[in-house]
Amino acid sequence: MALIGVFDSGVGGLSIWREIVRQLPHCDTFYVADQAHVPYGPRPLMEVRRFAEGIARFLIDEGAQVVVLACNTASAAALHYLRATFPQIPFVGMEPAVKPAAQNTRTGVVGVIATPATFQGELFASLLERFANNVTVLTRACPGWVEAVEAGALDTPETEALVRSCLEPLLEAGIDELVLGCTHYPFLRTAIERVVGPDIEVIDPAPAVARQTGRVLAARGIVPSSRHVGRHRFATTGDPARFRSMVRRLVGVEAEVEPLAWTSEGCLLVRGA
């Protein structure tokens, strides 16, 4: 049996979870949403690293054989640290899809939208150095987008106005590739595509992350039985009833949601356990 741990600050990582389940239907998953601390984006990287370590330790204790950081901010803050801290467990992180955007651009101008913390991390600087030497990469933080997704305001006039105000400077600068550098953003894709129009490619990293997760399992010799139907657990440090409603709305799954709480030592435990 293969158990994939997945975590994010909130519901955004469900965009990654959905693709993992589609590509790896015989694997079990355990998704943790740290909604007590959402959003991660404005927080100091060291604080996000502390949260990521606590969640990773919890998922490993629950039997996860691979842990997916379904959060660009957590990946920027903690991916290398987690790999060093838990060398026995493989970690799959997020990185903005600069490489395919740079390969596909016709105008030579690429837009990347993400949280401020994602742009501050060494991961993003390394991406630019490796893949963006011959293109112009324009970056924008998008205040309010994560909060809109967490609130379920996916396609309202107010949300479209938020999207438009963030993207118009990139459109005016001539981008023809738009990289979604936060896992919450795919849930705003309808509004995004309405603003950018049909001539701009919008790149969602979820399929590539799911493929990498499958490769990591195979490299470990973990091959789930084709007779096994994946079972899926969900937990949140926030309101379980609200998270359950969002799981239903965003990915069409009826799920029981376990309540989690942080201890003063930075550990996670099931509330009431």
pLDDT at 122: 83
Active site positions, annotated: 71, 182
Query: Over 70: is that where the pLDDT of 170 sits?
Result: yes
Determine the average pLDDT of the residues in 56-85. 97
Q: Phi, psi at residue 14, to the nearest 5°?
A: -65, -25
CATH topology of domain 3-94+207-270: Rossmann fold (3.40.50)
What would the pLDDT profile of 94-150 be if each residue is shown by its tens digit? 999 999 999 999 999 999 999 888 898 788 999 999 999 999 999 999 999 999 999
Give the span between the Cα atoms of 149 and 154, in whole angstroms: 6
- Please give the Cα distance from 15 to 215 (Å, whole number): 19
pLDDT at 273 over 80: no
pLDDT at 67 over 90: yes
Report helix angle 122-131 to 72-85, nearest 10.
Answer: 100
Q: Report residue 128: phi and psi, to 5°.
A: -65, -40
Adjacent-strand bridge partners of 29:
4, 232
To the nearest whole number, what is the mean pLDDT of the chain?
95
Residue 223 has pLDDT above 90, yes or no: no
Walk across the sheet containing 232-236 and list its strands: 91-92, 66-69, 3-8, 28-33, 232-236, 257-262, 268-270
For domain 98-204, give the fold. Rossmann fold (3.40.50)
Q: Which residues does 129 contact at the CB level (< 8 Å), separation at least 6?
A: none
Fold equal for 3-94+207-270 and 98-204 = yes
Q: What percent of the chain has pLDDT over 70?
A: 99
For residue 39, name the pLDDT band (cuts at 50, 70, 90): very high
Alpha-carbon distance of 180 to 127, in angstroms, equals: 14
Spatial distance between the Cα atoms of 67 and 73, rounded to a whole number of angstroms: 15
pLDDT at 179 over 90: yes
Residue 229 has pLDDT above 60, yes or no: yes
Domain spans of the chain? 3-94+207-270, 98-204
Reported confidence tier of residue 187, pLDDT bands at 50, 70, 90: very high
Residue 129, H or E segment: helix 122-131
The 3-state DSSP class for residue 84 equals helix
Report the pLDDT value the prediction gives residue 270, as an integer from 0 to 100.
81
- pLDDT per position as a tens digit, 6-33: 999 999 999 999 999 999 999 999 999 9
Q: Are the CB atoms for 52 and 254 separated by under 8 Å?
A: no
pLDDT at 272: 66
Residue 224 has pLDDT above 90, yes or no: no
Task: Collapse the DSSP code of 24 into the 3-class scheme (helix H, G, I; strand E, B; otherwise coil) and give the result.
Answer: coil
